Structure 1
Amino acid sequence: MTAKKKSAEAFFRHPRHFGGPVERAVHRKAALLRLLTYFREERVRLIFLTFVVAAGVAAGVIAPIFQSQAIDAIAEGSYGRLPVILFWMLAACLTYAVMVFFQGRLSARLSQNIIRRLRCDLFGKINTLPLSYIDRHSHGDLMSRMTNDADNIANVISTSLGAMFAGVLTLLGTAVVMLSFSVPLTLLTCLTVVATVLTTKVIAKKMGKYFLERQELLGSLNGMVEEKVTAVRTVKAYAREERIIEEFDQTADKLTKTGIRAESIGSSMGPLMNTISNCSFVIVSAFGAYFALQGWITVGVISAFIIYSKQFTRPINEIAQLYGQIETALAGAERIFTVLDEKSEPEGGEAVPSLAHDVIEFRHVNFSYVPDKRVIDDFNFKIEAGKKIALVGATGSGKTTIVNLLMRFYDIDSGEILLNGRDIREYSLQSLRSIVGIVLQDTVLFSDTIRYNLTYANDKASEEEIRQAAKLANADDFIRHLPQGYDTVLTGAGSSLSEGQRQLLAIARACLARPRILILDEATSNVDTRTEAKIQDAMTRLMQGRTCLIIAHRISTIRDADEIIVMDKGHIAQQGSHDELIKKEGPYKDLYMTQFAGQAS
């Protein structure tokens, strides 16, 4: 696959909507065989669909025979046979219509059942993937596999699968009937088939170039719009509206020109196919009339051949068009299976024992996100039970990484992290994370009620416990002033709330979890000084008897910590209490002077 084509995959691609070029799977056969395993539970419906398609094709092929017989009966003056022939002709047409209806219903049901299982597998897999995988891959790309790629597969199953099978049967059935009527006229009809195939191949080759270019430009335009809308505050703050409108217009103009070329070539396919089809009618009519005059065939056969010539070429055109959709669907299936084959977070392990106090120890811990670029370097530290430990340091010093390693969002390269004397890798992830309450700087809320967001940490909490947690986090007052109080639905994941209010809800959620270990990662960074003081009082009560780890930039939030760890390039630069560190020259005192002595920060 070329670099140009790979770059196009990053954008929103949907051949059904855009008529784009064929995207092919690298391992086509393996993707197809694996996709077919999802059909196992639909065997009965698949067999029934096969029968319906075959019955519909048989009815469609037989109907022109009765038409031919009816015309010959009229020509011969055998009017007594006409009612019976017309009855069977009508029965064949009605059977065809009914079978096509059921084919559509069965294909849709088959498609949705298979895609539902495929999406469930994919969503379940995404939820078990390590955080390292999620961080390395574009969220939009993962969403595209769940939506666009799955839709491509669903479209092929619901429309292309039955159509492909029907097309092959129609070709075979029509060819047999045509040969039985007249071999010479059948061979003449095949000339138009050759012309159709050659024309389709030439046009498809020309279409590919422009459709690929159009999709790349469309992806660029989508990315530009998404980025600029997301960053609308920054755009307005720097008065860059005219500049981005100009950039948008330039890309939109290129897209328009390319789109016109692509659609012009694409739209020529239909008229050309109709022209070739009409040529087939001329050939059948001219040679059929000659054969009839010679007594080789009847007038009814000419009528049937006109229908069969169109019926013979139509499946070829459809199969040629379906080929691209099938290839794209297999490429989408391969992308989905790539995610399903990724290694999940480790399962199993023992449950964390129920203890009154928890001791955490880091022993010679080394870690790097990228090989040979160590972020944590020989980190050694012990957090005694019930102690409040603070981590401070410059951006990129490794503070948040320590939290990621403790939560096992990432696994260490070497060394040990011990919880109550045992390596945390011996515990199950669910058990380990269930005893930890964490409040991050970037608050995550769900588009649901405030009550749901708070009980996300403890769905068995009572009404009284919910309100107590909110009061403890200083959130109860503003919640009660909302239109529906705790039943207020947050739209846009809480976008209508201020950053401070969102963070208060996150703190209340952590309170409700009743964690044995509490982690606060810049938990008060988005609240004002007055609110921060109230939260500090609440946090002091919450942290009583718990092992706590606090990451902060503000000295005011960590002055009462039992011990402060100053991080620098992945290792400990200083450690001690606030009073001890402020008496020493070093990074902590520099940070203190920056914040409290009027120096620019």
Structure 2
Amino acid sequence: MAENRNDKSFRDSSSSQTLKKVMRVIGNYKILLAFSILLAGISVVTQLYVPILFGEAIDRIIAPGNVHFAEMGSYLRNIGMVVAVSSIAAWAMNRINNCLTYRTVRDIRSDAIRKIQKLPLSYLDSHSTGDVVQRVIADVDQLSDGLLLGFTQLFSGLITIGVTLIFMFSKNIEITLIVLVLTPVSFLVAKFIAGRSFQMFRKQTTTRGRQTALINEMIGNEKIVKAFGHEKAASERFREINLELEKYSRSAIFFSSLTNPSTRAVNNVIYAVVALVGAHRILNGSLTVGGLSVLLVYANQYMKPFNDISSVVTELQNALACAARVFELIEARPESADSTDELQESRGEVALDHIDFSYNKKKPLIQDFSFCAEPGTTTAIVGPTGCGKTTLINLLMRFYDTDSGSIRIDGQDIREVSRHSLRRTYGMVLQDTWMKAGTVRENIAFGRPDATDEEIIRAAKEARSWGFIRRMPRGLDTPVTDDSLSQGQKQLLCITRVMLCLPPMLILDEATSSIDTRTEILIQEAFAKLMKGRTSFIVAHRLSTIRNADQILVMRDGKIIEQGNHRELMAKNGFYTNLYNSQFAQTAENA
């Protein structure tokens, strides 16, 4: 479903619209752009002035024994100086074009990263990680290649065409008009081919994003793939996408490869016409041999930019197809507007008032949900898989906004305060752990970069993680990644991270699911100390861990079906009782 929405928005963006967006970014560097065009003009004019000097030098060769060597030497010296100026201008133009290109793609990539930070979780949930990475990295690289080629050849080519016509008109108006009349044929051929190559490049880029997503998915979960014998199916799926990518790539390359030879064929016809007409004019005395040599050089120079531009257009089609995907990300609808008001230090009273929420509007999830957590109390949320427990946590943290109703902290609607100040009041430990590439110290101090070693060590001791940290080769300075620790160790570090911040409220979503029973007992003691005086929300499947909660919300199909403490709910002999007894029955059977 997500891919279909993405493909539709992608199809709606044309290459011209994408080019306008790219040019808006380039517009931030108008001075560099102006210098690039100026230097391109200098380089082109000086290059095109050389044939005139050569033509004049040729006309100084009158007949055997009648050669004006002094004048020829003067023209040759002038040619040397003009070539030197042209080379310096071309070198400077290329340097500026490199700078302009890399600054442009730097800005686009920075905009993409900043936008990801502002996107709602619903966008990231509906787009694969591999596809998003493909847009920010590979697609921007393709755009960079296209822009570099475009700046290098496009400006020079356009200026060459204009200046060449001026020089040709100064030599012979009739031949110049013949060249102008035949020129649109080359344009029409290039336009016809470019339109089809863009379609193929766009499909190629989309398919490449799907391929990257699949590779990321398979490699990131290779243990699961092997454990369930999914290797063959995964390889077959990759083969299908790879064949599809090959199909679109071959079509894109085929159409794009037609451009240059097609325009060259037209150009050769024009060159031949100029030679024939020019030879006839020499015979009737209206044109000199030097003049014809100049016109032939200009005819070739005039048509050469069309070949270069056709190559540029081909590369730009690929670049713009990639740019369209990047801009689709940059222009995605961000999170709803954030308030500038700050949530003051919270007492911890949390009230949910008749809230409704669903990920898919056609499939209601949480309906008319209300409850209140008093300051300093512990609220456990239990229920079968898919009943809305983790969704409720997402709403408390405002990762998603409610469809209706309100969530209030100390009487203040959370939509009326900034997300940052709201999330700062919560300490959150999830079942899914995350470690950034860095030292143990940097991972623990993620929420408090200014924390001292003494504070970090104290938090680690309280979270029972200091034991394995101390045994590491370099202690707190040991580099770690998401794959270098066991799941239990990562979860202990995540708990330590929250211990260090000491927020006024806590959210524990299956926080001890990957820890052995002995360590879990120690962690529960640490949590008891940490939760003392703090409003806490615990999502738990193991009901033995939440027997001391002040209130337990039993959810089913997005609604609270039972509410009370452990003793009250057991006395009701309802759904909670069955859930609790079934877990202990399973434990007894397993024993």
Q: Would you call these one fold, judging by a TM-score over 0.5?
A: yes
> Which residue pairs with 2:381 in the alignment?
391
Pick closer, same or farther for the CA change 1:131–1:208 going to 2, 3 Å.
closer
Pick closer, same or farther for the CA change 1:191–1:412 going to 2, 3 Å.
closer
SS at match of 2:354: strand
Pick closer, same or farther for the CA change 1:25–1:266 going to 2, 3 Å.
closer
Q: Measure, in 2, the Cα distance between the counterparts of 1:257 and 1:131.
A: 34
- Tell me if the contact between 1:479 and 1:485 (Cα under 8 Å) persists in the aligned partners: yes
SS at match of 1:412: coil
> Which residue pairs with 2:82 in the alignment?
92
Q: Is it true that 1:559 corresponds to 2:550 in the alignment?
A: no
The Cα of 1:238 is off from its aligned counterpart by 3.2
Q: Deviations over 1:316-340 (max 9, x none)?
A: 2333444455566666368527734
Alignment of 1:581-600 (within 5 A): 581-598=569-586
Deviates more, 1:303-312 or 1:451-460: 303-312
SS at match of 1:583: helix
Q: Measure, in 2, the Cα distance between the counterparts of 1:53 and 1:326.
A: 19
Q: Is it true that 1:517 corresponds to 2:508 in the alignment?
A: no
AA partner of residue 557 (structure 2): K
Q: Is it true that 1:458 corresponds to 2:448 in the alignment?
A: yes
Q: Is it true that 1:180 corresponds to 2:167 in the alignment?
A: no
Q: Measure, in 2, the Cα distance between the counterparts of 1:471 and 1:583.
A: 39
Q: Is it true that 1:353 corresponds to 2:344 in the alignment?
A: yes
Deviates more, 1:412-421 or 1:37-46: 37-46
- Tell me if the contact between 1:364 and 1:414 (Cα under 8 Å) persists in the aligned partners: yes
* TM-score, normalised by the number of residues in structure 2: 0.88
Q: Is it true that 1:238 corresponds to 2:228 in the alignment?
A: yes
Alignment of 1:54-203 (within 5 A): 54-75=41-62, 77-148=67-138, 150-151=140-141, 153-161=143-151, 163-190=153-180, 193-201=183-191, 203=193
Paired positions, count: 583
> Which residue pairs with 1:435 in the alignment?
425
Q: Measure, in 1, the Cα distance between the counterparts of 2:201 and 2:341.
A: 55
Q: Deviations over 1:516-554 (max 9, x none)?
A: 101101101111222211211111111111111100101
Q: Measure, in 1, the Cα distance between the counterparts of 2:261 and 2:50.
A: 27
Q: Measure, in 2, the Cα distance between the counterparts of 1:298 and 1:5.
A: 65
The Cα of 1:93 is off from its aligned counterpart by 1.7
- Tell me if the contact between 1:153 and 1:333 (Cα under 8 Å) persists in the aligned partners: no
> Which residue pairs with 2:560 in the alignment?
572
Q: Measure, in 1, the Cα distance between the counterparts of 2:24 and 2:190.
A: 33
> Which residue pairs with 2:330 in the alignment?
339
Q: Measure, in 1, the Cα distance between the counterparts of 2:237 and 2:132.
A: 28
Q: Deviations over 1:297-324 (max 9, x none)?
A: 2222232223212211122233344445
Deviates more, 1:198-207 or 1:450-459: 198-207
AA partner of residue 49 (structure 2): I
Q: Measure, in 1, the Cα distance between the counterparts of 2:54 and 2:176.
A: 18
Pick closer, same or farther for the CA change 1:5–1:163 going to 2, 3 Å.
farther
Deviates more, 1:204-213 or 1:344-353: 204-213
> Which residue pairs with 2:483 in the alignment?
495
Q: Measure, in 1, the Cα distance between the counterparts of 2:332 and 2:56.
A: 59
- Tell me if the contact between 2:463 and 2:492 (Cα under 8 Å) persists in the aligned partners: yes
Pick closer, same or farther for the CA change 1:251–1:44 going to 2, 3 Å.
closer
AA partner of residue 347 (structure 1): D
- Tell me if the contact between 1:149 and 1:333 (Cα under 8 Å) persists in the aligned partners: no
AA partner of residue 553 (structure 1): H
SS at match of 2:61: helix
- Tell me if the contact between 1:445 and 1:453 (Cα under 8 Å) persists in the aligned partners: yes
Q: Measure, in 1, the Cα distance between the counterparts of 2:111 and 2:239.
A: 41
Pick closer, same or farther for the CA change 1:41–1:306 going to 2, 3 Å.
same
> Which residue pairs with 1:417 in the alignment?
407
Q: Deviations over 1:112-152 (max 9, x none)?
A: 33333343333333323333343344444444443355445
Q: Measure, in 2, the Cα distance between the counterparts of 1:24 and 1:362.
A: 41
* TM-score, normalised by the number of residues in structure 1: 0.86
Alignment of 1:216-227 (within 5 A): 218=208, 221-227=211-217
Pick closer, same or farther for the CA change 1:463–1:258 going to 2, 3 Å.
closer
Deviates more, 1:278-287 or 1:583-592: 278-287
- Tell me if the contact between 1:25 and 1:334 (Cα under 8 Å) persists in the aligned partners: no
The Cα of 1:183 is off from its aligned counterpart by 3.1
Gaps of 5+ in 2: none
AA partner of residue 149 (structure 2): T
SS at match of 2:379: strand
Pick closer, same or farther for the CA change 1:263–1:358 going to 2, 3 Å.
closer
Q: Deviations over 1:468-494 (max 9, x none)?
A: 111111211112222222112223xx2
Query: Residue 537 of structure 1: which of 525, 531, 539 is its match?
Result: 525
SS at match of 1:598: helix
The Cα of 1:225 is off from its aligned counterpart by 3.6
Q: Measure, in 2, the Cα distance between the counterparts of 1:26 and 1:191.
A: 30
Superposed CA RMSD: 3.3
Alignment of 1:209-220 (within 5 A): 218=208
- Tell me if the contact between 1:53 and 1:165 (Cα under 8 Å) persists in the aligned partners: yes
> Which residue pairs with 1:44 in the alignment?
31
Q: Measure, in 1, the Cα distance between the counterparts of 2:337 and 2:223.
A: 41
SS at match of 2:69: coil
Pick closer, same or farther for the CA change 1:49–1:242 going to 2, 3 Å.
closer
Q: Deviations over 1:339-368 (max 9, x none)?
A: 34734443334333335x422122222222
Q: Measure, in 1, the Cα distance between the counterparts of 2:21 and 2:252.
A: 34
Q: Is it true that 1:527 corresponds to 2:504 in the alignment?
A: no
SS at match of 1:445: coil
Identity %: 35
The Cα of 1:576 is off from its aligned counterpart by 1.9
Query: Residue 536 of structure 2: which of 545, 548, 559 is its match?
Result: 548
SS at match of 2:80: helix
Pick closer, same or farther for the CA change 1:118–1:210 going to 2, 3 Å.
closer
Q: Measure, in 2, the Cα distance between the counterparts of 1:218 and 1:145.
A: 10
- Tell me if the contact between 1:24 and 1:330 (Cα under 8 Å) persists in the aligned partners: no
Q: Deviations over 1:244-282 (max 9, x none)?
A: 445555665665577556545644544455555445554
SS at match of 1:169: helix
The Cα of 1:50 is off from its aligned counterpart by 2.4
Q: Is it true that 1:313 corresponds to 2:303 in the alignment?
A: yes
Q: Is it true that 1:369 corresponds to 2:359 in the alignment?
A: yes
Q: Measure, in 2, the Cα distance between the counterparts of 1:268 and 1:112.
A: 30
Pick closer, same or farther for the CA change 1:429–1:392 going to 2, 3 Å.
same
